[in-house]
Every structure is written in C-alpha cells, then in structure tokens.
C-alpha cells in the first residue's frame, strides 16, 4: 500500500494551535454553531492563535 503525503514539521505550539483550529472547524461542520454565535466569531480566537504561532516560527 502506498500513500502520498506531504508532511511538514513545525514546533509543538504551531501543531497545537492548528489542531485547535481544525477541531473548531470540524465541530462547526458536524455539530453547527452554539446559539447566537457567528462562524467568524466562533472560529476567530483559534484562527488568530494558529496564525500568530505560525508567524512566530516563520519569522
């Protein structure tokens, strides 16, 4: 069995932030949003945390 994957390695803080953002996105798709919350508001904190962590590593 052959798999084609691109694996990029980042420090743990980037991985953790990306995972938190992914989990929010996934939860939104499968479970919907909490009452009264917009997609942007719900995702914004973890999106910004991921981008900040990535920028810190990339420079």
The string of DSSP codes covering 11-55 is -HHHHHHHHHHHHHHHHHHHH-PPTT--HHHHHHHHHHHHHHHHH
pLDDT for the residue 1: 47
> Over the stretch 46-56, which tens digit does the pLDDT of each residue have?
999 999 999 99
Nearest to 58 by CA among 20, 22, 19, 11: 11
SS3 content of the chain, % helix, strand, coil (to 5): 70, 0, 30
Integer Cα distance of 50 and 25 in angstroms: 13
Residue 52 has what pLDDT?
A: 95
- pLDDT given at position 59: 83
Query: What's the confidence (pLDDT) of residue 6?
Result: 56
* pLDDT score at 5: 54
| pTM of the shown model | 0.75
Query: Which residues does the chain have with pLDDT short of 50?
Result: 1
């Amino acid at each position: 069995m052959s798999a084609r994957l691109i694996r990029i390695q980042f420090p743990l803080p980037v991985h953790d932030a990306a995972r938190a953002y992914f989990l929010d996105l996934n939860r939104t798709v499968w479970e919907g949003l909490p009452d009264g919350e917009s997609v942007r508001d719900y995702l914004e904190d973890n999106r910004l945390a991921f981008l900040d962590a990535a920028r810190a590593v990339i420079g």
